[in-house]
Amino acid sequence: MKVIALANQKGGVGKSTTAINLGVGLTRCGKKVLLIDADSQGNLTTMLGIRQPDELSATLATNLEKIILDKPLDREEGILHCEEGVDLLPSNIELSATEVNLVNTMSRETVLKTYLKEIRSSYDYILIDCMPSLGMLTLNALTAADSVIIPVQSHYLSAKGLEHLLKTIRKVQRQLNPKLQIEGILLTMTQSRTNFSKEIGELLRNTYGRNIHIFQSEIPFSIKGAEMSAYGKSIFSFEPKGRVAAAYENFTKEVAEIERQRKNSKIDFIR
């Protein structure tokens, strides 16, 4: 079982879109996947068709509060089963209050990790959609995760802000989660016809490519890709033959192949 956080402190880079399409893509490969919305804005929840997230009786906040208060958990509480095969642990505005409560909680960075220990055996992958900040909930996600995927918009300011996130990840690796790995950087909203978009890709590869995996798949900018979120569907259902669907299919294969190679390396090491 693998836990992957999708993180970037900059908003609008495609974290939620990537979480949905990677999750559904892995489900299409036969994997059991849970998506966790770790953003109080509830974008992932809304994009999966939950139009009134604030009316939900149980969410991620419900389970984290139980960990904070040392109350017994119900493994299934709050988890929704979506049409395209993925499960969702939704979020709403209550998560903002939970983040405030975390500040004064013992072992505050490990609350989400403690919760995931209760449910991780039920899934092949758990994908955590982080909020666009480096606050306590994002630290919880990075502490709970095995690896992190960093979606980066093909834009100068997005690429420039990457170093701050990488410093935070390195600090988490040193102090909270030494096993955390960077799965890779995913370029999103690329426009292959513009030189500027190509230059951003080259800048990232030249700056970080030696030490960090840059996914070969790039997610192109598409109006259809943006419209997908209004229909509560993944791109595989909304526009299955489009460029964005093809890009996310290739990206899913890359993520699965990385995991396959790691498992083979472990087997070889044991031998």
**Longest distance between any two alpha carbons in the chain, whole Å:** 55
Lowest mean pLDDT segment, chosen from 6-20, 177-191, 194-208:
194-208
- Token code pair at residue 104: 């004064």
Average pLDDT, the chain: 92
Name residue 115's beta-bridge partners: none
Report yes or no: 129 and 98 within 8 Å, Cβ to Cβ.
Answer: no
Name residue 185's beta-bridge partners: 150, 214
pLDDT digits (tens, 9 = 90+) for 133-174: 989 999 999 999 999 999 998 776 666 678 889 999 999 999
Give the H/E segment covering residue 115: helix 111-119
What is the radius of gyration, based on Cα positions, of the chain? 18
Helix intervals (H) in 145-228: 156-160, 162-175, 195-208, 223-227
Instruction: Kindly give the pairing relationship between strand 87-89 and strand 80-81.
Output: antiparallel
**What three-state secondary structure class fits 181?**
strand
Q: In the chain, what are the domains?
A: 2-270 (3.40.50.300)
What's the pLDDT score for residue 68?
95
Count of beta carbons in the 10 Å neighbourhood of residue 132: 18
Euclidean distance between CA atoms 202 and 125, whole angstroms? 31
Residue 64 to residues 74, 105, 122, 145, 187: CA-CA distances in angstroms?
A: 12, 11, 18, 16, 32
Report yes or no: 176 and 139 within 8 Å, Cβ to Cβ.
Answer: yes
Euclidean distance between CA atoms 258 and 4, whole angstroms? 13
pLDDT digits (tens, 9 = 90+) for 7-56: 998 888 999 999 999 999 999 999 999 999 999 999 999 999 998 999 99
> Sorting pLDDT into bands at 50, 70 and 90, what band is 177?
very high
Kindly state the average pLDDT of the residues 162-188.
95
